[in-house]
Structure 1
Amino acid sequence: MFLSMKNKILALFGTISEMLAELGKMSNKSGAIEECSAALAAILNQLDKEESSPPQSKQMLLEIQAAFAALYADGSLINDIAIKTLDKQVKVLRETVAAEIKPKLNIVFFPYKASMWDSLESIYEAAAKDSNCVAKVVPIPYYQLSNDNAFGTYEGDFFPSHIPITHYNAYSLENEQPDIIYVHNIYDEYNTLTRVHEMYFTSNLKQYTEMLVYVPYHVSSFVLPVEGDRSMAYDIPTIKNVDKVIIVNEPLKQMAIRSGVPEGKLLAMGSPKLDALNKALNTEIEYPLEWRERIAGKTVYLINTEVMFFASNVHFRLEWLTHFFNIPRIDNDSIIIWRPHPLTQISVMKYSPNLTEYYVNLTDSIRNKDPLYKHIILDESADYIPALMAADVMITHVGSLLISYLLTEKKVLFWGDKMPENSLVPSNAFYYAFNPNEPWYELVKSFSAGNDPLAENRKGLASKIYVNSDGSSGAKIYQEIKDCVL
């Protein structure tokens, strides 16, 4: 029996007690007794379905059914003493069922993009190991939004092969009534680049569960927002529909509280995305076949561009991206892996439509190994971990990929001339691409010579900023949420 069903049964006992309290005043006593008898029959039917039959509960229930049948057959037996005696029996039965029935948890995960599954995977793994839990992964359909168009998309076929997938058409929220729902997108109608199907808006999901948990698909920045700034982790109207929000650290939790989010909703427990990289750090990585020869013996530079990279300052950003693409011309023993955000093209189409043709041609040229871009690998895979593990240097601004990369303690060439204000990362941990005293091309030469004077400053950095960055976040989130619902 799932927890939701057990709770319904316990609530039904409460309804029977309420009806008994009013029975003496009712004109249609036989009708009320008939309703109570029907409720008891439904409960007995449910108990009969249990794999391990609860004998004490069933025996008591049969006795109470007989007592109601006697009252129905002879209304003269209905008096205060009989009602009080029967009500006491019902309450004892409720306590017996509560103690005797050990429920399982019915849990569903509703991811929408395969590349973002890592934000939920380690929670799912903890649930899958729990014999008192049934967990399903149901990738949901979504729309890619571009100006006036909405492109329906489903990525269930792109999830890791070891994850059992349930198609959304085969999963009924109404029938399942899950005890816990995990999601990594709560933006509903407020998202501008993607939008999950309306059936999976938080306002609808909340109708079917007592525990809707939001685990952000990104890892919140180590640059704390200033008062008044919006933070995607929690500052959105749909937060009212969510029961728990997973926050990566205590400073962000306190900011969320100051922004009006009830403290009881917030759990500072880190991010399962960091669990994925922790696992990779202790596992031999299988690189894509086409990468192996190209990266062997090379200094690998990973260029990470976020989803809104081309939405503003387009010419400036293109200029510098082109500069960085030329790193292999400075260091012959280097190669570039460029990993644009999975939604970059839809972002370009929406915010910089004049750039669409250029972007498509650029990515096609790299993808097709145009000689002009022979030292560049375009990484469009759902799994970002091989790129992080292959990289010797990451060129990036603030973003989730950088945060995961902190665990590797490898070199970062930060896309700027200094660390942003309110950063939890100290300024002496990264190198700066636009530092006039040590420009990026000089740094490239230094890196090729094996120099890394800031290496010591990056040791243990992730653990100083993020809770449970040791790979335990997902398991701890699962246990905390389980304890909450039980």
Structure 2
Amino acid sequence: MERYKKKDILETIKMLDKANDSITRAAASNPQGAVDALGQCQDTAICIGTYLETFGEEYTAIVSVLEEYCEIIYQMSVDVSEENQFRKHTKRVTKLLTKLKNTVTYKMPDDRKEVVFLPYKASMWDSLESVWKAADADENTDAYVIPIPYYDRNPEGSFRKLHYEGGEYPEYVPVVWYENYDFEKRMPDVIFIHNPYDEYNIVTSVHPFFYSENLKRFTEKLVYIPYFILGEIDPEDKNALKDIEKFILVRAIEYADQVVVQSENMRQAYINVLTEHMEGYSRGYWEKKIFGLGSPKVDKVLNTRKEELEIPEEWMRVIRKPDGYWKKIIFYNTTVTALLQHNEQYLVKMRDVLHIFHENQDEVALLWRPHPLFASTIEAMRPELREEYREIVERYREDGWGIYDDSSDMDRAVEISDAYYGDGSSVVQLYQKTGKAIMLQNPEV
């Protein structure tokens, strides 16, 4: 059954009123056309009435007016050839629609806003969480978190394995199975997404139904918030802008109604890139579309408290010294960008890093957290490195002297660690907010 909002019903009443005028003018010259149009009006009223009846007696007054309207519409179809009688009916319809409009306006509560969040990687949920919390706390808003499925890609681009991570979200986040939400019928007021690539991601792809181009059909406001944070740049620096173009010239920005980025400075960078490269759109268009309101990822990091975290016992066996004190914890981050740049040399570097930390395991605990798509990237783009990487990971995990974090909770790693070591990435931008030490690795050394 179709879901009607108050604003939809009021718009329908306006449409029925216009139809009444058109039918009145056309009845004499085209009586059969008038009868057909009257039937459509009646069907529309019946659909709305049937929907409102599902609420019990709450909207009895509105349903009664709709029933009276349907009865007059029927009489009009019977008397379509009786000009005087027909015109009397049309005047009654006009008065009745005014009554219906007033009844809906004053008897129906204002619409609740329906907001949908569509994360795909659970580890990237932090880019939407604070917005969801605000929506969920609003007593006039119904907020739904609907994790969406995604595919790994084969080297030639075809879809491979389907993933769904709905079971990996925090317990306080109620998730909805994506097949249980009918977008076409519900037409949410706002949809939030954090995956910008649609079909152009060569490592993974969300299910095509959830491409931004398609989602735009089901909402009046599609909002894109990047799952990453970029290093701040001078928005007038041409070379710096060129370095971040690949993050900006993406499908979601084209189809979204609003784009929320990490800062006002980055907003200007986005606007400059989009104005230069997206033909047919003015600078003013992008200025109205891009908002520099900050990143929810920063909110999540700053609001995470160590004492509130659940740390697995297997981690604690690595972290605790014999005297009960904690070792220094180093967050080791390996990224897909560095892998693709350095290839085999990157795995050599990885082995060297693990060897050094292994030798110092009595004082330092290594928390290795590869990018969530590291293995998928190797599979899709560097399959010749697959076995060597698998061997490195298996050996590290089996030896048990360090922590291997492939969970969806990146913020836990940020909070419990004492320093960062690894590649430059959006994680570095977040880590800087903590004030802890950061050291970037050089895969060539």
Measured against the shorter chain, the TM-score band is 0.7 to 0.9
What is the distance in 2 between the residues matched to 1:78 and 1:257? 62
Structure 2 equivalent of residue 6 of structure 1:
6
Higher helix share: 2
Alignment counterpart, residue 408 of structure 1, candidates 434, 439, 443: 434
CA shift, 1:286, in A, is 2.0
> Residue 421 of structure 2: SS of its match in structure 1?
strand
Across the aligned residues of Structure 1 and Structure 2, the Cα RMSD in angstroms comes to 3.3
Paired AA for residue 247 in structure 1: V
Paired AA for residue 11 in structure 1: E
What is the distance in 2 between the residues matched to 1:395 and 1:239? 32
Instruction: Check 1:328–1:298 CA distance in 2 against 1; reply closer, same or farther (3 A cut).
Output: farther
Query: How is 1:56-67 mapped onto 2 (pairs within 5 angstroms)?
Result: 57-58=62-63, 61=66, 64-65=69-70
Paired residues, what number?
415
> Residue 312 of structure 1: SS of its match in structure 2?
helix
Contact kept in structure 2, 1:2 and 1:103, CA below 8 Å? no
TM-score normalised by the chain length of structure 1: 0.75
Query: How is 1:5-404 mapped onto 2 (pairs within 5 angstroms)?
Result: 5-26=5-26, 27-28=30-31, 29-50=34-55, 53-54=58-59, 57-58=62-63, 61=66, 64-65=69-70, 68=73, 71-72=76-77, 74=79, 75-77=82-84, 83=90, 86-87=93-94, 90-91=97-98, 93-94=100-101, 96-98=103-105, 100-148=108-156, 150-223=160-233, 226-231=240-245, 233-258=247-272, 259-260=274-275, 262-281=286-305, 283-296=307-320, 297-325=326-354, 326-327=356-357, 329=359, 332-369=362-399, 374=401, 376-404=402-430
Contact kept in structure 1, 2:368 and 2:404, CA below 8 Å? yes
Structure 1 spans left out of the alignment, 5+ residues: 418-432, 435-486
Instruction: Check 1:402–1:3 CA distance in 2 against 1; reply closer, same or farther (3 A cut).
Output: farther
Contact kept in structure 2, 1:393 and 1:411, CA below 8 Å? yes
Contact kept in structure 2, 1:180 and 1:210, CA below 8 Å? yes
Structure 2 spans left out of the alignment, 5+ residues: 276-284, 321-325
Q: Deviations over 1:421-449 (max 9, x none)?
A: xxxxxxxxxxxx99xxxxxxxxxxxxxxx
Q: Deviations over 1:171-229 (max 9, x none)?
A: 33333333322222131110011001122222222222222222222223334673344
Contact kept in structure 2, 1:54 and 1:101, CA below 8 Å? no
Instruction: Check 1:112–1:237 CA distance in 2 against 1; reply closer, same or farther (3 A cut).
Output: closer
Contact kept in structure 1, 2:261 and 2:294, CA below 8 Å? yes
Paired AA for residue 208 in structure 1: F
CA shift, 1:394, in A, is 0.4
CA shift, 1:59, in A, is 5.9
TM-score normalised by the chain length of structure 2: 0.81
Contact kept in structure 1, 2:259 and 2:290, CA below 8 Å? yes
What is the distance in 2 between the residues matched to 1:355 and 1:42? 59
Structure with more relative contact order (C-alpha pairs < 8 Å, separation 6 or more): 1
Identity %: 28
Paired AA for residue 338 in structure 2: F
Structure 2 equivalent of residue 421 of structure 1:
none
What is the distance in 1 between the residues matched to 2:384 and 2:55? 62
What is the distance in 2 between the residues matched to 1:25 and 1:91? 20
What is the distance in 2 between the residues matched to 1:223 and 1:37? 60
Instruction: Check 1:186–1:287 CA distance in 2 against 1; reply closer, same or farther (3 A cut).
Output: same
Contact kept in structure 2, 1:246 and 1:266, CA below 8 Å? yes
What is the distance in 2 between the residues matched to 1:266 and 1:3? 31
Instruction: Check 1:44–1:341 CA distance in 2 against 1; reply closer, same or farther (3 A cut).
Output: same
Contact kept in structure 1, 2:76 and 2:86, CA below 8 Å? no
Contact kept in structure 2, 1:140 and 1:197, CA below 8 Å? yes
